[in-house]
Structure 1
Amino acid sequence: MICWFYPSLGGLEYVVHHSLSAIAVAYSMYTGEGQLYTFMVLISEVTTPEINMRWFLDTAGLKRSYAYLINGVVIFFAWLVARILLFIYMFYHVSLHYDQVIHMHIFGILLVFGVPAALGVMNLMWFGKIIKGLKKNLSKRV
């Protein structure tokens, strides 16, 4: 429904992102497995207010304002920490505790490796767009 009626909200990537997150949260709540990794991935949602603020500023016609520029810089750093560096640390943590992770149910193992990998790819793709947009915005100001 989102893809059909609201493609500007993100389309298929939006649906995949939220579906994977919902499945992982439901699984970890139901089984008690993988909760740390689920919470680590959910910390990435700390970037949502900045993304929403960007939309509000854009809709209000304030793309050339300092608030828009500052928000873009905040998005860059928040995304870098919460969605790039934290994911790298999470994969490092999984590798350190691999002997424990493999004792999870097979579906839990698939979630621990699959969900963060899929979200990580999307996060890198979006981070590239954030960098491109920030460069464009900064170049207009110089």
Structure 2
Amino acid sequence: MQVSKTSFMAMKSYTYQAELLLRDYLLADPCVIYTSVLCGIVMCKMAYDLTQLISSLYFKAYTSLTKVQRIEWSNRGMSTAHAVFITIMSSYLVFFSDLYSDRLDGFVTFRSSNLSIFALGVSAGYFICDLAMILWLYPSLGGMEYIIHHLLSLIAVSYAMLSGEGQLYTFMVLLSETTTPGINLRWFLDNAGMKRSKAYLINGIGMFAAWLVARILLFVYLFYHVYLHHDHIKKMQTFGYILVFIVPLVLGIMNTMWFAKILKGLRKTLAKRQ
């Protein structure tokens, strides 16, 4: 009982210190932008190194990969970590928080908080790291479509973070990162020689469903929301106003093209299994 009480008090003390660190430093008004971007870069480095370490110890297929393939393997671990983080944050801020609720007075396009700025800063840090890796190893980690995707995402995220405008629509677009873990898992299974496994088929079906919801239907809802709140959007600065329409439109077209490829691949996989 004494040990349990001591452990509980120690855990409570650590929790309190973590809350103080979060409130007084990471989410403090003067520091939140800089610390959040730095946290995003550090998170990428940690996720990359951990993926590399764990894979070399527990996955035999990893050691047989080429140098470029091992870099991409670890890079996908990094993108998965970001996807999990930003999906949780975006889901909370868009669907569960009252920050962007229509029940509140004022323009929805001008609402922000230290938490929303922090989440965008972490995401900006990730896009900086990933874009740098794509350019450094071009075209091994992706072609021009990946560069366009990351540049648009980085510009939109940075603008929303620095100006405080249009954050709701930025988080709606970032919710599309929900599909990233499934895409990466498919690549892992493929390179591990498990293309004919049941896990590969289940992953393909799950990826199709997630893409349909997060990158097709959600974008349709985003444009509908923009239509309903156009009077709010008109109050934004010209650059922000353009971003609200251009970024989702371009990414929506790219998502539709990739969705067609996913559907084609799923059909081919199902045909082979039959």
Instruction: Point out the structure with max Rg over C-alpha.
Output: 2
Q: Deviations over 1:64-95 (max 9, x none)?
A: 11110000001000000000000000000000
Contact 2:152 2:247 survives alignment (8 Å): yes
What SS does the aligned partner of 2:236 have?
A: coil
1:42 aligns with 2:178: no
Specify which of 116, 137, 142 is matched with residue 269 of structure 2. Answer: 137
Structure 2 length normalisation: TM-score?
Answer: 0.50
Which residue does the alignment assign to 2:183?
51
Sort the Cα spacing of 1:8 and 1:126 in 2 relative to 1 into closer, same or farther, 3 A. Answer: farther
The runs of 4+ residues in structure 1 deviating greater than 6 Å are none
Which residue does the alignment assign to 2:203?
71
Find the aligned partners of 1:102 and 1:66 in 2 and give their Cα distance.
50
Find the aligned partners of 2:135 and 2:262 in 1 and give their Cα distance.
22
Which residue does the alignment assign to 2:161?
29
Contact 1:24 1:111 survives alignment (8 Å): yes
Which residue does the alignment assign to 1:95?
227
- Percent identity reads 68
Instruction: State the Cα RMSD in Å.
Output: 1.3
What residue ranges of structure 1 are gaps of 5+ in the alignment? none
Specify which of 117, 138, 147 is matched with residue 15 of structure 1. Answer: 147
Sort the Cα spacing of 1:90 and 1:104 in 2 relative to 1 into closer, same or farther, 3 A. Answer: same
Query: 2:250 corresponds to which letter in structure 1?
Result: A
Query: Where do residues 81-120 of structure 1 align in structure 2 (5 Å cutoff)?
Result: 81-120=213-252
1:123 aligns with 2:255: yes
Find the aligned partners of 2:195 and 2:213 in 1 and give their Cα distance.
24
**Aligned pair count?**
142
Find the aligned partners of 1:54 and 1:8 in 2 and give their Cα distance.
18
Structure 1 length normalisation: TM-score?
Answer: 0.96
Residue 8 of structure 1: how far off its partner (Å)? 4.5
Query: 1:102 corresponds to which letter in structure 2?
Result: K
Residue 99 of structure 1: how far off its partner (Å)? 1.1
Flag the structure with more relative contact order, 1 or 2, with Cα contacts below 8 A and sequence separation at least 6: 1
What residue ranges of structure 2 are gaps of 5+ in the alignment? 1-132
Q: Deviations over 1:50-70 (max 9, x none)?
A: 011011000011111111000
Query: 1:32 corresponds to which letter in structure 2?
Result: G
Residue 102 of structure 1: how far off its partner (Å)? 1.2
Query: 2:257 corresponds to which letter in structure 1?
Result: M
